[in-house]
Structures are given as structure tokens and as C-alpha cells.
Structure 1
Amino acid sequence: MQRQDLLHAANEFGTPLYVYDAAELDAALSRVKTAFGDARIFYAMKANPNLNLLRRFAAAGVGFECVSSGELARAEHLGLAGERVLVNGPAKSDEEYAAGARLGATFIVDRAEEVGLLPPRSRSLVRVNPAMQISTHDHLATGSKASKFGVTLEQAPRVLQALADAGHDALGLHVHIGSAIRDANDFTAAFGRLSELRAQTGPLRVLDTGGGWGLGADLGGIAERARATAAVFGAELWVEPGRYLVAQAGTLLTRVVGTKHTGRHFCLVDAGMTELIRPMMYGAAHPVEALWEREDQATEPILWDIAGPACESGDLLARDVALPAPERGDLLALGEAGAYGASMSSTYLTRSRPAEVLYEGGGWQVIRRKENPADIWRVEE
């Protein structure tokens, strides 16, 4: 998308606004397919569950990894079932077990106790936690020793055997060490620890190496290591990209409502933690682009904190962003917002969640309308 396209979208649909570039969605999936070859791909739906994006991935042969009954309902609504659906999560409910069974999905077993909770004759994988130091924010490190996810390396062979003994179809192992991982060597280390289990597990049918690749990661290198690990077990390779497939396709557009100069320089905008909570939650840094140009711009850019409208000190979308002097009505674009922007948005302060629009073929399609306050309180009456 070009700057004029973003300006047009903001003027037509208002701000805050989530915009997605269909070409980048397709390009990201193509990069994954090229790197991982014939590996089976499951999209981690939590990154962005918009039905229009899901339909696009489903039409391309992608399955879905679901972690709630609501996500399973989305998969069912789209007609996906069987081997194209995974049920994940550390604390699955009875409703989620039932939904997974109804769809004939594969369950990712997160603890030994689950062996006795699965529906009869379930297909299953055992999630292993390699207990490593992961190069990402602590809240995103699912493969660390302190994480709530998975069984230990020592427990994994016993859980696999328990699944088989209970009559379940134990396909193999699953490992997902985190999200937005900065150092690709983390994957090498995790896969290496998994390989050590081969003597105890014997050959497996499936090895699911999850996702979590940083947006600038060397996918080819990571894929090569994943394939080599799968070969150790004689297993088919599965992967679960989420953020990688949608983040760079999405932009959050927001307008400047004013500025103030106190202890710092604040650029006040109409989007905040309710539209993009990742900076507050994970310390995530999203690229920020000013979409204004003024010929009479006389001052050099200074550093601004991009501050949202919530009455919360942490409601900051970015710090120390170099901008030419912003004026009320100017437009900012926050990049890499396609993942965990809309999906983690909230109605805190009874703020209406923004519209979502898709850019394809030179035009815009509304794929989720903006809420109004009555939409929010309808379930309360």
C-alpha cells in the first residue's frame, strides 16, 4: 500500500482503523511454503481471527491451531475439521474437548493429566517444554523453565506411552518456544534437545515445531533445522505460524488530536491500548510513520512519545519517535499491527472497536465494521 492509499482509507472509514494488505498476506504465506516445503501449515488463529483472513488461508490449504471454543467455532463455521484443526492450550475446558471431538481435531496434550481427559481415541501430540532461555520478552517465552506450557523432556516419553496405552492415536511431539524470537539459534537449541528423546520415543509420525519466528528471521535456515529434526524421528513436519503470516500485512491508522510538553513531548492520538496493547503488555516496538508533509515545515524533528486517550499512564504506543511537528488531524501509521492488534483489542472505557478493511486490487473491502456503543452493551440488557 502506498501513502495515498492509507490516507484514502483513513478519510473514508475514519480512525482508529486497522488496514490489511492482501498482497502481503499472500507473500508471507508464500515465504513459509517456500521455506518449509511440504510441511503441513496450521495458522495460529489467535494472531488475527478475522473470518475473511481465515477464509483466505483455508482456501490456500492452511489448517488452524485453535486455543478456545470460540476459535474452534470459527473453524467449524468455515467447514474445517479433522486433520486441518489443532486444539491447543494449557487449560482446556470440557466444552473445548467436546468441540475438538466433534470436529475430529488433533489435541495437543499439555500435561500428563490430559491423557484421562481426552475424548476416546483422540489423535494427539505431546507438547514438550525444552526449558531454555529464550530471546524474547518473558511473557512471550513459552519454552522457558518458568513457562506454564508443556511437559518436561523427562516426562514426554511417558506421556506418549500413556496416550497409546489409553487407546489414543499418539502421533508425536510438539514444541513451540515463544513468539517474536530474536535469535534463530534458540530454535537450533530447542530442536537439539528434542532430538535427544529419539532413543526413548522411537520413530514418530509427526513432529510439530510450532512457530514464533521473528519477522526478519532466516526462514530457510530455521526450516532446514526443523526438517533435520523431523528426520531424526522419521516424522512428518508440521508448523504453526501466527504473527509471521499477518503482522506485516496490517497497519493501525490513528489521527493526532493534539500535543503537550511536560516532562516529555507527547503526541496525543485517537488510538491507544484498546486498539494496540502489545507495547504496554510486551514492550513491543511497532514502526511509526508520519503520513504528513508540509512544505513550510521549518523545525527539525524532535522525539515524541505517542500517547493514547485512556486514563492509564501505560497507554503509550511508542516512545522517542522522531517526528516533524505534528498538528491536530495529522495521520500516523503504526506498522506490524496485523497480529494481536484487532485480536487483542478491547472495549475498555466503552470504546468501540475500530473497523477492519482489506486492500486488494486497488480497492478497499470492509471486513469488520466499526462497533457502536449499543453493540457493546447489547449483551448486558
Structure 2
Amino acid sequence: MLNDTQLLEAAQRFSTPLYVYDAAELDAALAGVRAAFTDTRIFYAMKANPNLSLLRRFRSAGVGFECVSAGELARAVKAGASGEHILVNGPAKSDEEYAEGGRLGATFIVDRGEEVALLPPSSRALVRVNPALSVSTHDHLATGAGSSKFGVPLSEVAAVVEALKAAGHTARGLHVHIGSAIRDAGDFAAAFAKLSELRPSVGELEVLDVGGGWSLDADLHGIAGQARQAAEVFGAQLWAEPGRYLVAGAGVLLSTVVGSKQTGRDFVLLDAGMTELIRPMLYGAVQPIRALWQGDQTKPYDLAGPACESGDVLAHDVPLPTPQRGGVLALLEAGAYGAAMSSNYLSRPRPAEVLWDGSWQVIRQREGPEAIWAAEL
């Protein structure tokens, strides 16, 4: 990971708020996935971070893309992917997304039975299974729960597979994705066991796609071994869709201290907040945080952003040296769903993004006011 000197150099050179990525960390994360998931096709879940420079890096390494919008499909093509390297996912696909996925020859992930009639002629498809499991993550990140909007109930999967075949489509196999940032590897074992129970009703398959969702400290080799056993049950090739796992650890959000105050709490006031990093508000996400200034006295502070919103707090009770105006904080593990979810709320410009790959590369310019309102009439 980039050291304090490099992070301070980036903040001084490009100003803050700023997203910084370490190319070596990106490469190491992909190498770790491939070491665990041997003989597995990897599709990057683009929603985690869709920056074109990162997409091109993954595509040049042979990685495909899982897309959930027409915009992401366009990015996949721009990054050099063909249909064989693209999955079209999502619970409410638009006519445009069906048409573009069909034109590209992508593989569709069918999320409900009625989608069979909506697919372009002679499509290739996977059926997304809802295993109805409670998993070890935030409720907003749990996509495999029985009450989730995602996937086909276990009791209906075989019928959807048969409907695909009857409609002239290629039913390539099954898909499961139970959530994100899942801490307990046993959750994956339970999901794969649910899939294996479908073997008598669906027969052999070409593909078993086990999604992603692994926490950054997960036992990846153990999870991969269990996934491989499930694939063997079906005689299927194994696919996986890591998103956050590939990019989170490579990214840092740099923010400058603009002041401090005390009410009922001790606050450090930052130039970054919910418009730059909304995960703490959405998911209760906790980022590792490092102060890039020195000081002897340390006490806990809440980190508050500039928005006129009570929820605009990036972290609570963070031990910090006495804050200094102009000091720089590094919010670590911010490479996923940080820049991707940043917004122009309050007409704030989305931050610049830079990549360290032996030298600094600007991979997204900081927006100016004109860029924010360019589409308005």
C-alpha cells in the first residue's frame, strides 16, 4: 500500500478530496483471486468501481465484466470487452439492456421467470438462484435472503431452466450471489449446498457462477474449494464475479481537515463527506483511517463532512492526534463503492482520481461547476 509520503504528495499535487489507487494492490488482489479460484473464469463486478483505466487494466489481464446497466455495458465495450466476456445482470433490466446484451452476444443472468419471454432470440442465460439464507453482513448488502428482491426461489429454478430451453435459449447454468462484505465463510458453504440440492432437477450444467461478496480478510482458498466441489456436482465450469474484493484495498480517499468543534461530541470537520463516500451512511461501513500528521495527544473524534445533513459523518470515535487545520486524513479500503457512488449533491464536484503505477496518472479529472450543470437546460 502507498506510504504516508506518497499520499501526502498526492494530496498536495492534486488537492483533496482525492481518490488514490495503487496499481500494485490491484494486481495483487487479482493474483490472489486467481491463485484461489484456479481454472475459474473471472468477471469483475463493475459497479464496485467503473473507472475506465481500471477496467482496461482488468481486461488486459483477461478479466470479463458483470454489468447491471446500459451505461456499464457501454463501458465494458469501451474497455475492450466482447460479448463472451460480458454478463448482463440486474433485477429490472430495461428494453435497451436486453437489446444491447443481445446485440453483443452477452450472457444474461435471469432474475425471475418472466424474463424468459423478454430475452432476445437465442440468448445465452444463467438462472440466478435465491437460496433464502441469512448471512453475516449488513441487511442492505444481503442479496441471498428469502425476502431479497434478487433471484429465483429454489422451488422454481428447474421450471425456469426448462422454460429457457423451450423458448430456444441456451440455459448455460446457475448463478448465486448472496451479498457483499460477507464475514463468515460458512455462509458461502450453505449457499453452495443449496445449489447442489438442485442437481437432480436441473441435470448437468455448463456453468456454475458463484458470484462474489467475500470480505477482504476471507479464507479465499477455502471458499474456492467449496465452490469447486459444487461445480463438480454439476460437471460445470466455475465462474466468479469479484467486485469489492479486487479494488477496495487498492483505494484511499484523502481528505483535508478544515477545522474542529465540540458540541455533545468532539468533531473533526473534513472537506470530504457523504458526497464523496456514502458507504458509512448506507451500510454502516467502517473504513480504516490514518492521520497523516504527527501529534502526542490522541483522543477519539467523529469525522464530519461538509453537507448540511446530520448523517454526514464518515466515522465515529476515531483515535487521532490533535487535529490541525490543513492536516490530511487517509480513509483506507475505499477503492470500492467510493468514487462509484459519489454524487453532485449540493452541486459539489466529484473528486479527481489518480493511479500510482510507478508515477502518478490522473484517471479522472476533478469536475468543475460547468461539468455539473452541462446537461441542464
Question: In structure 1, what is the equivalent of residue 263 of structure 2?
Answer: 262
1:79 to partner: Cα distance: 2.8
Distance in 1, matches of 2:277 and 2:135, equals 24
Equivalent in 292, 296, 301 of residue 304 of structure 1: 301
Q: CA RMSD in A?
A: 0.6
How far apart are residue 327 of structure 1 and its match? 1.1
2:109 aligned with 1:113: no
**Which residue matches 1:282?**
283
- Cα distance in 1 for residues equivalent to 2:241 and 2:374: 36
Write out aligned runs for 1:1-381 (5 A). 1-294=2-295, 297=296, 299=297, 301-361=298-358, 363-381=359-377
Q: Which amino acid aligns with 1:364?
A: W
> Is the 2:21–2:251 Cα contact (8 Å) retained in structure 1?
yes
Determine helix, strand or coil for the equivalent of 1:148.
Answer: coil
Question: What CA deviation, in whole Å up to 9, does each residue of 1:324-366 have, x standing for no partner?
Answer: 11010000000010000000000000000010000011x1000
**Deviation, structure 1 residue 78:** 2.4
- Paired amino acid for 2:31: S
- Aligned-partner residue type, residue 291 of structure 1: L
Letter in 2 for 1:378: A
Distance 1:342 1:211 in 2: 20
- CA–CA separation in structure 2 for the residues paired with 1:57 and 1:194: 29
Matched residue count: 376
Map Cα deviations across residues 194-219 of structure 1 (whole Å, 9 max, x no partner). 10000111111100000000000000
Q: Give, as a single letter, the amino acid of the residue that structure 2 aligns with 1:81.
A: S
Q: Secondary structure at the match of 1:155?
A: helix
- Residue ranges of structure 2 left out of the alignment (5+ in a row): none
Give 3-state SS (helix, strand or coil) of 2:153's partner: coil
Opposite residue 315 of structure 2, the aligned amino acid is A
- Normalising by the residue count of structure 2, what TM-score does the alignment of the two structures yield? 0.99
Contact 2:59 2:80 in 1 (8 A): no
Q: Deviations over 1:204-262 (max 9, x none)?
A: 11000000000000000000000000000000000000000000000000000000011
Q: Give the distance between the partners of 1:267 and 1:342, measured in 2 at CA.
A: 22
Residue by residue over 1:103-162, the C-alpha shift from the partner in whole angstroms, topping out at 9 and shown as x without a partner, is 110000000000000000000000000001111000000000110000000100100000
Counterpart of 1:372, as a letter, is G
Quote the Cα distance in structure 2 between the aligned partners of 1:3 and 1:79.
35
Structure 1 residue 82, shift from structure 2 partner: 2.0
For residues 292-318 of structure 1, the C-alpha deviation after alignment (integer angstroms, 9 at most, x for no partner) is: 014xx3x3x111000000000000110
CA–CA distance in 1 between the matches of 2:77 and 2:209? 22
* 1:348 aligned partner, one-letter code: Y
In structure 2, distance between residues paired with 1:236 and 1:131:
24
Q: Give me the whole-angstrom Cα distance separating, in 2, the residues matched to 1:281 and 1:309.
A: 17
Question: Which letter does structure 2 place at the counterpart of 1:335?
Answer: L
Residue 374 of structure 2 aligns to which amino acid in structure 1? Answer: R
1:2 Cα deviation from its structure 2 partner:
1.0
* Secondary structure of the structure 2 residue equivalent to 1:223: helix
Q: Distance in 1 between matches of 2:268 and 2:117?
A: 54
Q: Cα offset for 1:76? A: 1.5
Quote the Cα distance in structure 2 between the aligned partners of 1:144 and 1:81. Answer: 33
TM-score in terms of structure 1 length: 0.98
